[in-house]
Structure 1
């Protein structure tokens, strides 16, 4: 059993299913689940990559939480569990920045009659107050609370008026920047906004990008398609190594940020399935041996027509697939194997410690092709030399992705 749960953990909270077991037990459970869900590829399944001990708590910088006006005449921030409101003001999984903002809300925002707060969302240094209305409320109260707001670590505070907010948290319109600046930089030097998705443990995410880059080895003669590319972390990496790069992303904010984070990449906005004609046109002059792909789909996995197009038309020599759902990953891998691909290996990443969630990076190779021919190296030399030949060319900075 877990012996050192930090103070402040609410026993009614259902978010952290593994908080009462050790990190070793959690890893074993996740590996057991993956071994079951990905049983056809059991031999290719590697040991799970886990975060450092100090990264297992206080790591959650992206939250979407409910609000409630309490009998103590202050706002509470939390979730609904078993039809009861669970106050998460002192949650030890939340980062210090999130905890400070929750405290600021409880002490600063006036009554529901003045400011009818419904939801609170935070992504890193960008925070959003969500009201289920189209009517902008009186904001005179904000002036006297700005001083403490500047001490929370937040750089931008937004008001979002969204009458139908719920399962779908954000709408397209009625965004108002109340305080600070509209964009921030994360630990990897990437710009992001209030609706961005970001992996919560940067060091571990960087490891996964390293592994994908080490396998794909994009070079100047290669073309790489990056689907569900988000704010451009992976896009920037491919362009750093000289590869011709295109990404597809549905979020307008993410596309805007990706164009700044990866200015050398071409970026298409929309669903991946609707962008297949443009992707075909972009790739038509690239020989098969120079086609690469990186995909990071949501939990539903690859769209059926995207999966079919990748495996039967675009046919990349190598493909890296970061998945957050082993079930849909198994479905997609079976399709790829039925269309001339084999799985090199699967590496699990514990991006969400103390929960049951686990992500995996799968590396696929087109059958009949040697993945090392383009380097002029055999496999042994490639594996022992790759980090010095490739990885170390990139360093930490505000303008360069840190890998």
Structure 2
């Protein structure tokens, strides 16, 4: 038998924040029929909303009247996008096809970080901030440090490393996330693409830094862990003095640590963080030193 997703309508969901329930209610009242717009997903990232449309051309909706926009603004929404993604399925977002149809293209969170409609945000931002501050205290970046931040996202870590005075380079596959990272940490250098694709540029960046700088590394990979060859590159070429690894999968973390710890690295501390309460997922911040 085939497993198929089942969509269950949950009006006024008790888990959502009130502003999310109200925004969904508003859009439900004005969105055209599916045959007219083919809207397949509603994605809300705090103050930014994206409607994913299974189409190649921008539909004429007329839904964002001045009165409707005023209602959105009254509940704190700052931007509304249509994202054209003809092959939308399991994957939420495609490449390109973003159209801002009302409001601002970016918003700021409670800590002043800029984010867009496709940004990932932690459910518990205070706890995520605590994990990052713990990594900061362990890495100890300063004006005599060179930090590489792999999978840097929208630049929350880049901002901390550059504020501490360190030379900083971030890598991230999402161009949208890096656009926000440039706003959040303008003094950091960034590379778009996978870490494996950008190894030559990372090596060139490290080689251009003067002798005597302390090499530091922060990695926050997806559930699949470090890409093939990255752990080996860390131990054979970069050789950071200290490294912080924030993992969302115990399985891939164990795999990567087995490679790192076969070299000169040892685990100084492992700190669990319950970023997703009432689920089986527990993230772990691993602090490693070069022996």
Q: Which range, TM-score by smaller chain? A: over 0.9
* Deviation of 1:287 (Å): 4.7
**Which structure ranks higher in relative contact order (CA pairs < 8 Å, sequence separation ≥ 6)?**
1
CA distance in 2, matches of 1:345, 1:286: 30
Q: Spell out, residue by residue over 1:247-276, the C-alpha distance to the aligned partner (whole angstroms, 9 max, x if none).
A: 111111111111111011111111111111
* Deviation of 1:230 (Å): 0.6
Which among 100, 109, 123 is matched to residue 200 of structure 1? 123
Q: Spell out, residue by residue over 1:292-334, the C-alpha distance to the aligned partner (whole angstroms, 9 max, x if none).
A: 0000001110012111101121010000000111110010011
Instruction: Name the SS for the 2:16 alignment partner.
Output: coil
Q: Does 1:97 align with 2:19?
A: yes
1:227 matched residue in structure 2:
150
CA distance in 1, matches of 2:84, 2:4: 28
CA distance in 1, matches of 2:13, 2:210: 51
Q: Does 1:85 align with 2:2?
A: no
Question: In 2 relative to 1, CA 215–188 (structure 1 residues): closer, same or farther, beyond 3 Å?
Answer: same
Paired residues of 1:344 and 1:363 also in contact (CA < 8 A):
yes
Q: Spell out, residue by residue over 1:334-364, the C-alpha distance to the aligned partner (whole angstroms, 9 max, x if none).
A: 1111011100111111111122221110000
Which among 151, 156, 166 is matched to residue 89 of structure 2? 166
2:257 matched residue in structure 1:
333
* Deviation of 1:152 (Å): 2.8
* Deviation of 1:83 (Å): 5.0
Q: Does 1:138 align with 2:71?
A: no
Which among 349, 353, 368 is matched to residue 273 of structure 2? 349
Paired residues of 1:311 and 1:336 also in contact (CA < 8 A):
yes
Structure 2: gaps (5+ residues)? none
Which among 299, 302, 315 is matched to residue 239 of structure 2? 315
2:205 matched residue in structure 1:
282
1:150 matched residue in structure 2:
73
CA distance in 2, matches of 1:253, 1:135: 21
* Deviation of 1:289 (Å): 6.9
Please, what TM-score do these two structures have when normalized by structure 2? 0.93
1:295 matched residue in structure 2:
219
CA distance in 2, matches of 1:287, 1:103: 59
Give the 5 Å matches for 1:12-51: none
- Aligned-residue Cα RMSD (Å) equals 1.7
Which among 112, 119, 129 is matched to residue 34 of structure 2? 112
* Deviation of 1:115 (Å): 2.7
CA distance in 1, matches of 2:102, 2:286: 42
Which among 131, 137, 147 is matched to residue 214 of structure 1? 137
List structure 1 segments (4+ residues) > 3 angstroms apart after TM superposition.
Answer: 81-84, 285-289
Please, what TM-score do these two structures have when normalized by structure 1? 0.68
The farther-off stretch of 312-321 and 163-172 is 163-172
* Deviation of 1:286 (Å): 5.0
* Deviation of 1:135 (Å): 2.9
1:242 matched residue in structure 2:
165
* Deviation of 1:282 (Å): 1.2
Which of the two has higher C-alpha Rg?
Answer: 1
CA distance in 2, matches of 1:180, 1:200: 24
* Deviation of 1:116 (Å): 2.3
Instruction: Name the SS for the 2:222 alignment partner.
Output: coil
Paired residues of 1:301 and 1:323 also in contact (CA < 8 A):
yes
